[in-house]
């Protein structure tokens, strides 16, 4: 069976107090996933049409969004674009679309993570936790991040050191210079010597950012403040300096 509905202790409710929006026209999947997440202690609103979400009074006030790519109304990529213009809440895509270019499209649109169907519900829960740990608003009291140029490491607020590749260091340097502002995709891709429009390649800008985020997450429980701005670029939403 591709899905599981077992229950276990977790920290989801501590991480996420606002409701989750589940947007998918597969009524069987949405019903079962919604039941699972409610069993995990979350509030869930289900929508089978993207327009149903967009006309909802709290369309941009949900604490988290889980959505498919193929649905009635505007598709998932366009919906992510709309959401990213109005909210910094976590966005998880769960879809059966498997084309090679899908990963790049999803990340470029501004989603935080992508899971392919069939998927275990427990995987969705774990993914929500992983994303939510790093999705926080600015000004949350988070301490400074430091780029140690000589050591080629990023020092986290809790003192952990993350080794940086050449591409990582170039990326972080660009973010240091931006002083908290958004750095365009074109500027980052140019600095990395990559083509901004060719995101299907494994060594594209999206992949560089994705791998860096994962290494930071393995090193520290601190929120990773490197976030995508839909179709615009990336922003480091915490104090960042170099030495």
- For residue 200, pLDDT beyond 50: no
Return d(Cα 193, Cα 195) in angstroms, integer: 7
What pLDDT digit, counting tens, does each position of 112-135 carry? 899 999 999 999 999 998 888 766
In a domain, 6, yes or no: no
Contact (CB, 8 A) for 71 and 51: no
Please indicate, yes or no, whether residues 126 and 25 belong to a single structural domain of this protein: yes
151 and 212 belong to one structural domain = yes
110 and 155 both lie in a single domain: no
When mean pLDDT is compared over 17-21, 168-172, 176-180, the highest value belongs to: 168-172
Least confident of 169-178, 182-191, 192-201: 192-201
Percent of the chain with pLDDT over 90: 42
Residue 4 has pLDDT above 60, yes or no: no
Q: Which domain holds residue 110?
A: 12-132
pLDDT reported for residue 195: 60
Whether 158 maps to a domain, the answer reads yes
Pick the residue with more confidence: 220 or 185? 185
Domain assignment of residue 138, yes or no:
no
The answer, yes or no, to whether residue 232 has pLDDT greater than 90, is no
For residue 140, pLDDT beyond 70: no
Residue 211 inside a domain? The answer is yes
21 contact partners, CB below 8 Å, separation of at least 6: 45, 47, 53, 62, 64, 65, 66, 67
- Provide the number of structural domains found in the chain: 2
Give, for 115, the enclosing helix (H) or strand (E). Answer: strand 113-116
CATH number at residue 194: 1.10.10.10
- Please check whether residues 150 and 120 belong to one and the same domain: no
- Crossing angle between the packed helical segments 166-178 and 205-219, to the nearest 10 degrees: 90
Give the least confident one: 30-39, 163-172, 191-200, 222-231.
Answer: 191-200
Q: Which long-range contacts (CB under 8 A, 24 or more apart) does 194-198 make?
A: none
How far is it, in rounded angstroms, from Cα 78 to Cα 94? 15
Helix (H) or strand (E) holding 241: strand 240-242
Evaluate if residue 32 carries a pLDDT over 90: yes
Q: Which pLDDT does position 204 carry in this prediction?
A: 79
Helix axes 27-39, 121-132, angle to 10 degrees: 60
Q: Tell whether 106 and 206 lie within a shared domain.
A: no
pLDDT of residue 147: 94
Same-domain check for residues 208 and 238: yes
Query: Are residues 119 and 170 located together in one domain of the fold?
Result: no
Stretch 146-151: mean pLDDT, rounded?
92
Average pLDDT score over residue span 156-169: 90
pLDDT digits (tens, 9 = 90+) for 58-76: 898 899 999 999 888 899 9
């Amino acid at each position: 069976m591709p899905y599981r509905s077992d229950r276990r202790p977790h920290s989801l409710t501590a991480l996420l107090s606002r409701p989750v929006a589940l947007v998918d026209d597969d009524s069987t999947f949405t019903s079962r996933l919604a039941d699972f997440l409610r069993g995990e202690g979350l509030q869930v609103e289900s929508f089978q049409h993207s327009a149903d979400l967009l006309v909802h009074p709290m369309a941009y006030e949900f604490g988290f969004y889980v959505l498919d790519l193929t649905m009635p109304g505007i598709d998932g990529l366009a919906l992510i674009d709309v959401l990213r213009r109005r909210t910094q809440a976590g966005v998880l895509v769960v879809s059966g679309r498997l084309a090679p270019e899908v990963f790049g499209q999803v990340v470029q649109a501004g989603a935080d993570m992508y899971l392919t169907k069939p998927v275990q519900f427990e995987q969705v829960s774990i993914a929500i936790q992983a994303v939510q740990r790093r999705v926080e608003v600015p000004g949350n009291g988070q301490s400074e991040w430091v780029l140690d140029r000589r050591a080629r490491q990023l020092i986290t607020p809790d003192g952990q050191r993350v080794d940086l590749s050449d591409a990582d260091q170039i990326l972080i340097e660009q973010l240091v210079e931006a002083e908290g502002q958004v750095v365009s995709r074109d500027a980052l891709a140019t600095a990395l010597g990559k083509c901004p429009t060719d995101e299907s390649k494994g060594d594209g800008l999206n992949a560089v950012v994705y791998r860096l985020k994962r290494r930071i997450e393995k090193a520290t429980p601190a929120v990773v403040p490197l976030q995508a701005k839909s179709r615009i670029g990336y922003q480091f939403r915490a104090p960042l300096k170099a030495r």
